[in-house]
């Protein structure tokens, strides 16, 4: 692999304007495949989820999966697309071992959904990403290239193919070219995929796991000299499979293309591969050698004419979408847009929402999830949602503080025990005797002992040095091992020291 010369990122946009375009593939979570009844469960033994249809055996006939069509329409509706009153599937012909039929059943000039847009926010600035089309197709199988000392057959490297994935419904969402993002282009690309992913997740039509490939992205990028009337030639970095990689791929291509253009070279239209380890891209197929797919309408499937009533029903059934949910919660909780972005990025939105639903105040719920719990998740290298504490338990903990049963300090001890699996907060408080002491005999005794044990401090307080009282409060807190309420202790001390 050649090492590309790169321009400093900050310099790129002093001379060039980037244009980005994203093609996102979403594997739908339907129970069966797009054109047959085979199961779509991930991780099964290779080639156990296949049949004559998805293996493309002669004489087999496909039938479109209604649930997949409905899910595609829902995605289109969520993006504000027009739903075509009539559309067709098309054959995209090419030969590759992971494509058993010799063609992929896709949509070409007659997609199911057309147009729409998605607004994303980066650094308080809104960028509109226009949607070109949303169409339905089928996934390919998976090749596994085996080689090296152990993977050889008759002394040669070889490839295995698994057709379990072949024929799983795949929705492709294609954006129009997005100019105008400047140096923010990498973040805009990432924000777009993040938001799209959340929408699809909210619709519940895919598990959107990028690491398993159920959501993957082709990242197109071109540069044109600042102020030029025409866009430059794009490259297409294929199958980028994490949000971070989307951003890195755009960043790298901007730097590489800028260096190439600076040197008087030209950008060739080609597909490129992204390398996670180095954050770089390398050349794949160039457009000149690209296959002519010889698209033609699929003769074995009837066209789809989605009924207006059906579409209206799907529209009425759309859940609250992420952007609407965020602005509603922001209002309800009385927080700033920045705080909301922060909560959303920390993956804490749902947790805080459930904690509030379980009775905590929004302030308390945020305080626990973004404070102590975020720190613990961080230390454990896990996600907030993976912590062994439920929103209901966090709400219970906040309730115990609010009613004065425990203070913040005790609450942290209680939380430790909840996380260690010792049960709900109230049970832990009870079992460990962790409740704050009221004005009990035990506390009175501790207060009196503190006064008796430090006559010099008492004298100071009486001579007007009120801050000296802190030492006595500290002593009482120490003997009661943090179980006393500091304000109560201070009041009890004041009463006694001044009258003595």
The label of the residue with tokens 């500290």 reads 474
- Give the interface size with Mg ion as a residue count (CB under 5 A): 1
- For residue 457 the two structure tokens come to 């401090």
DSSP string, 2-49: PPPP---HHHHHHHEEEEEEEEEEEE---SB-SSS--B--TTPSTTSS
Residue 417: CB minimum distance to Zn ion, A: 51
Choice between 36 and 193, CB closer to Zn ion: 36
Please, which residue, 135 or 165, has the CB nearer to ligand ADP?
135
Distances (CA, A) of 107 to 98, 134, 296, 303, 349: 19, 9, 10, 11, 37
- Per CB under 5 A, contacts with Zn ion among 1-40 are 36, 38
x/- binding map, residues 2-41, to Mg ion, per CB under 5 A? Answer: ---------------------x------------------
> CA-CA distances (angstroms) from residue 332 to 326, 335, 351, 358, 362?
10, 8, 15, 15, 9
Question: Site map for ligand ADP, 201-230, x if CB under 6 A?
Answer: -------------------xxx--------
51 binds Zn ion (CB under 5 A): yes
* DSSP tag of 437: B
Contacts of 289 (CB under 8 A, 6+ apart): none
In the list Mg ion, Zn ion, ligand ADP, none, the entry touching 428 (Cβ below 5 to 8 angstroms by class) is none
Closer residue to ligand ADP, CB minimum distance, 49 or 140: 140
Nearest one of 118, 162, 110 to 136, comparing CA atoms: 110
Q: CB of residue 285 vs ligand ADP: minimum separation in angstroms?
A: 11
Q: Which residue of the chain is nearest ligand ADP when measured via CB?
A: 21
Residue 55: strand, helix, or coil: coil
- The string of DSSP letters for 167-182 reads T-EEEEEEEPPB---G
Q: How many residues does the chain have?
A: 500
Stretch that binds ligand ADP, among 143-151, 173-181, 392-400, 485-493 (CB under 6 A): 173-181
166 lies in the site for Zn ion, by CB under 5 A: no
23 vs 494, which CB is nearer to Mg ion? 23
Q: Please report, as ranges, the residues that interact with Mg ion according to CB under 5 A.
A: 23
Q: Please report, as ranges, the residues that interact with Zn ion according to CB under 5 A.
A: 36, 38, 51, 53-54
Q: Please report, as ranges, the residues that interact with ligand ADP according to CB under 6 A.
A: 19-23, 174-177, 220-222, 231-232, 234, 236
């Amino acid at each position: 692999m050649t090492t590309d010369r790169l321009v400093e990122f900050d310099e790129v946009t002093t001379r060039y304007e980037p244009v980005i375009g994203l093609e996102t593939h979403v594997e739908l979570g339907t129970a069966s495949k797009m054109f047959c009844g085979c199961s779509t469960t991930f991780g099964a033994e290779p080639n156990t989820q296949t049949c004559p249809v998805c293996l493309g055996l002669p004489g087999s006939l496909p039938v479109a999966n209604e649930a997949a069509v409905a899910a595609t329409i829902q995605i289109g509706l969520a993006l504000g697309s027009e739903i075509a009153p009539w559309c067709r599937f098309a054959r995209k012909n090419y030969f590759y071992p992971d494509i058993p039929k010799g063609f992929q059943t896709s949509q070409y000039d007659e997609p199911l959904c057309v147009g729409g847009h998605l607004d994303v926010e980066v650094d308080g600035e809104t960028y509109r990403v226009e949607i070109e089309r949303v169409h339905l197709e089928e996934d390919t199988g998976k090749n596994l290239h085996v080689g090296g000392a152990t993977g050889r057959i008759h002394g040669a490297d070889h490839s295995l193919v698994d057709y379990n994935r072949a024929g799983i419904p795949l929705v492709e969402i294609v954006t129009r070219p997005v100019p105008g993002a400047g140096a923010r282009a990498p973040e805009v690309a990432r924000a777009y995929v993040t938001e799209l992913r959340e929408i699809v997740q909210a619709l519940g039509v895919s598990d959107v796991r990028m690491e398993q490939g159920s959501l993957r992205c082709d990242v197109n990028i071109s540069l044109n000299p600042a102020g030029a009337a025409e866009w430059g030639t794009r490259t297409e970095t294929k199958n980028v499979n994490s949000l971070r990689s989307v951003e890195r791929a755009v960043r790298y291509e901007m730097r590489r293309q800028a260096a190439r253009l600076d040197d008087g070279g030209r950008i060739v239209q080609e597909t490129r591969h992204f390398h996670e380890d180095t954050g770089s891209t390398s050349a794949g197929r160039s457009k000149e050698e690209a296959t002519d797919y010889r698209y033609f309408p699929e003769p074995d499937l009837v066209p789809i004419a989605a009924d207006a009533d059906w579409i209206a029903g799907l529209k009425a059934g759309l859940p609250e979408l992420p952007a609407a949910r965020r602005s509603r919660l922001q209002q309800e909780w009385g927080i700033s847009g920045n705080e909301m972005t922060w909560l959303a990025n920390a993956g804490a939105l749902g947790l805080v929402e459930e904690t509030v639903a379980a009775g905590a105040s929004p302030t308390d719920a945020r305080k626990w999830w973004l404070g102590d719990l975020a720190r613990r998740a961080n230390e454990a290298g896990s996600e907030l949602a993976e912590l062994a504490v439920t929103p209901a338990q966090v709400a219970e903990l906040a309730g115990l503080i609010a009613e004065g049963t425990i203070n913040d300090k005790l609450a942290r001890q209680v939380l430790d025990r909840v996380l260690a699996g010792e049960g709900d907060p109230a049970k832990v408080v009870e079992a460990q005797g962790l409740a704050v002491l009221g004005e009990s005999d035990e506390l009175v005794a501790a207060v009196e002992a503190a006064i008796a044990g430090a006559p010099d401090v008492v004298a100071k307080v009486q001579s007007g040095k009120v801050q000296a009282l802190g030492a006595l409060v500290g002593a009482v807190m120490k003997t009661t091992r943090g179980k006393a309420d500091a304000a109560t202790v201070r009041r009890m001390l004041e009463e006694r020291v001044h009258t003595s």
